[in-house]
Amino acid sequence: MAKYSNDQWMQLLSGEPDSDALLELRELLVRGLRYTLSTRVDSNLDALVEDFSQEALLKILDKIDTFRGESQFTTWAQKIAVRVALTELRRKRWKDRSLEEITTSRDGESQMETMLMSDSGPTPEDRTTQQGMMNMVQRFIQEELTDRQRQAILKVMVSGTPMDVAAEQLGTNRNALYKLIHDARVRLKKRVIKEGLSPQDILDAF
């Protein structure tokens, strides 16, 4: 059973997250996801659970101000974690499908020609918009973040370095790295809003 009330969770995780609360929440997410995914994942369960918990924790911290107290905070957090895990599993399942399976219809006819003929890629205008957004985000990273925050964001969010590896490379621990990334994301979000945009505007460009 979680040792914090809803109000305590909100207080401890809002703003500058408390290290002990982060550790407690991560352990709860890991336990819940391990149970939920035990019948869905055949291999590498522990590694996947750690990755999904990491991503879910960052989403929970970003969405903390949307919690309305209509359920237990831990129940709300677990629902976010499960959504993250199922989304990532679907993405991995699609990514791992064979080229033949993807490009061949049920009756065996090749769909490759149809795929190549269709113009589903970004238009030149879209590519220009995307490049502009990328340049803007890179500028915000340079202007708004400390050196440590910038290193953490680039390693984990851009390069996809696992949290444990990134923490070791930066000479810190997992919980401190969570806080570093969370603070960096808050700073970037504030800058995006200050520029008259919303985080969704940037996502929509991609």
Give the pLDDT confidence score for residue 36 in this predicted structure. Answer: 86
Give the pLDDT confidence score for residue 198 in this predicted structure. Answer: 72
Reference 67, options 142, 123, 7; nearest CA is: 7
pTM exceeds 0.85 = no
Q: Answer yes or no: are the C-beta atoms of 169 and 155 closer than 8 Å.
A: yes
Give the pLDDT confidence score for residue 135 in this predicted structure. Answer: 81
Cα distance between the two ends of the chain: 41
Going along the chain from its start, the domains and CATH numbers come out as 6-100 (1.10.1740.10), 124-204 (1.10.10.10)
Q: How far apart are CA 19 and CA 176, in angstroms?
A: 7
Give the pLDDT confidence score for residue 202 in this predicted structure. Answer: 62
Residues with pLDDT less than 50, the chain: 1, 95-120, 206
Alpha helices in 97-146 (DSSP H): 99-103, 112-117, 124-144
| Per-residue model confidence as pLDDT tens digits over 63-75 | 888 898 888 999 9
- Exposed/middle/buried for residue 148 (C-beta within 10 Å: 0-12, 13-18, 19+): middle
Give the pLDDT confidence score for residue 8 in this predicted structure. Answer: 92
Q: How far apart are CA 168 and CA 161, in angstroms?
A: 11
